[in-house]
Amino acid sequence: MSTTRRRGRPAGPASGDTRERILAAAREEFSARGYDRTSVRSIGKAAGVDAALVHHYFGTKEQVFAAAIEVSFAPAQDMPAAMAGGDAGAMGERVARFMLRIWENPQTREPLLAVVRSAVTNDTAAAVLRGLVSRTVLARVAGELRAPDPEFRVQLAAAQLVGIVMLRYVVKVEPIASADPERVVAMIAPALQRYLTDPDVRP
């Protein structure tokens, strides 16, 4: 997560705390009300500060949202390490297990569900998510691949994972919603392995 302040205001002793408090309030607001119904003003109110201070630290509503979802996506930052650590033939399995672990944990799942809700209902939120996901998670994961067309590969694998998230955690359709996580890992790992490493995968 970037902690660089955007503008030239000198940092007072409590400025770090204030920034964190605004960020926490923004995550709460976006999560509870969605992107459309959240405003810089409502975030300021929830944080107990003036809207101008929200602007000062983060810029526009879009930029506050970007900072907020960066926190929600922080657990995904370890995906490249999870991919790289171990036998290349079991990469699909590690990727699947890593993703399921994040989504099985309510503390990491709920903020991500909130991001999905905002991105699906608002084009600006979708664009911010697209930027973050492309620039950080997908690009870094693609950097771990030795095969050609790594971005396309990673997106095919991401599509498989996102679809599991939708059926299991969002729409909650049975039997996949209650299936043992390790069973789901075993089922999708071969598809992920192929997308990530098979030479025939190309755009």
Treating both helix axes as pointing N-terminal to C-terminal, what angle do 61-72 and 106-121 enclose, rounded to 10 degrees?
150
The per-type count for the chain, helices as H runs and strands as E runs, is 11, 0
Cα distance between residue 62 and residue 35, in whole Å: 9
User: For the window 9-48, what string marks contact with its own copies as x by the rule CB under 8 A?
Assistant: -------------------------x--------------
Beta-carbon count within 10 A of 98 CB: 18
Q: Which stretch binds its own copies (CB under 8 A): 2-10, 16-24, 61-69, 119-127?
A: 119-127
Residues 59-78 that bind its own copies (CB under 8 A): none
| Tokens 């370890």 sit on residue | 78
Residue 117 binding its own copies, by CB under 8 A? yes
User: For the window 145-184, what string marks contact with its own copies as x by the rule CB under 8 A?
Assistant: ------xx--xx-xxxxxxx-xxx-xxxxxxx--x---x-
Residue 139 binding its own copies, by CB under 8 A? no
Q: How far is the CB of 56 from its own copies (least distance, A)?
A: 30
Cα distance between residue 162 and residue 113, in whole Å: 11
With H, G, I as helix, E, B as strand and everything else as coil, classify residue 59. coil
For the chain, the residue count is: 203
Instruction: Please give the size of the binding site for its own copies, defined by CB under 8 A.
Output: 43
Residue 137 binding its own copies, by CB under 8 A? no
User: What are phi and psi for residue 201, nearest 5 degrees?
Assistant: -80, 115
Binding site for its own copies (CB under 8 A): 34, 116-117, 119-121, 126, 129-130, 133-134, 138, 151-152, 155-156, 158-164, 166-168, 170-176, 179, 183, 187-188, 190-191, 194-195, 201, 203
